[in-house]
Amino acid sequence: MLANRLQKRQRHLQKWAKRQDVTCYRLYERNIPEYPAIIDWYDGEVVTWLYERTRDETPAQQAAWRAHTLAEIQAGLGVTAGQIFIKERARQQGLETQYERLAQTGHSRLVREQGLIFEVNLSDYLDTGLFLDHRQTRAMVRERAAGKRVLNLFAYTGSFTVYAAHGRAHHTTTVDLSPTYSEWAARNLAHNGFAVGQQHPIITADCLQYLVDAATRGEQYDLIICDPPTFSNSKRMQQASFAIDRDHPALMQNCLRLLAPGGELFFSTNSRRFKLDNTAVPPAVTCTELTPQTIPEDFHNKRIHRCWLLQKP
């Protein structure tokens, strides 16, 4: 069943991807109950996230199912075992930190997306370095960026920054807590002909503290992108932990303080339980949910993220 589904999806999406100028996209999202997996195509290679089926399976049963699933992927997509990168997703017990390193294999490569080039690592992390579900959101940022001062918070590997720079932003500021991802963001800028420097600085810092400090300095931005993790308890943060469901009102208000008159804030989250607190948005600020417009065509899960556009008068 899985092989047939992958064959059909690949035939359909190959034409779509060529029109969109993308070489990485989602093929499968747990559509068949017997195959709880997510499968993404990365220009001839495959990243697969396997989910637990039941808690009472024996190790032998789990190994057999895994082998069967990989055989189906190979048959459906015409790839070898060496072209498939497996990630395990266990059932979650409460909140967890993100982006932990899984290996040191270092299987990195470049992929294309809507006229731009990004470095992805298919082997070493739970995620690859490019969140495919925000492809449309990135395009919206590029369309709005011309002449703007842009702030990219929780920037990860800097893909929003690259889109903003390509959209002729006057200035970009990229902020992330991780030195690893700050360096990765610098490489992504370089892959697209932009250099880290006075026009495009990258700052390794606690984003929550950066907002406070930037307000003290009187900084203002015309366009802010804020896509925080659902939860973080990194030791490098000033506060003990961050939880988007609990802390988003203060986060959004601190972003709005840096927003220039007429400025716009893209705010998004992957939290499935997220409910926007009405107190987070001042009455004068227009808040529009953009989620339907930001979910790409290759994603069946229309709640993979939620996204809002906040506009300051």
Q: What is the pLDDT of residues 129-169, one digit of tens each?
A: 999 999 999 999 999 999 999 999 999 999 999 999 999 99
What are 15-47's pLDDT values in tens digits?
999 999 999 999 999 999 999 999 999 999 999
Mean pLDDT of 64-81: 96
CATH class, domain 130-311, is alpha beta
Residue 125 has pLDDT above 80, yes or no: yes
Sheet of 24-29, strands arranged across: 24-29, 37-42, 45-51, 84-89
- Residue boundaries of the structural domains of the chain: 2-89, 130-311
Return the percentage of the chain with pLDDT > 90, whole number.
88
Q: Using an 8 Å Cβ cutoff, are 108 and 119 in contact?
A: yes
- On whether the 2-89 domain is CATH 3.30.1050.10, my answer is no
d(CA 193, CA 184): 15
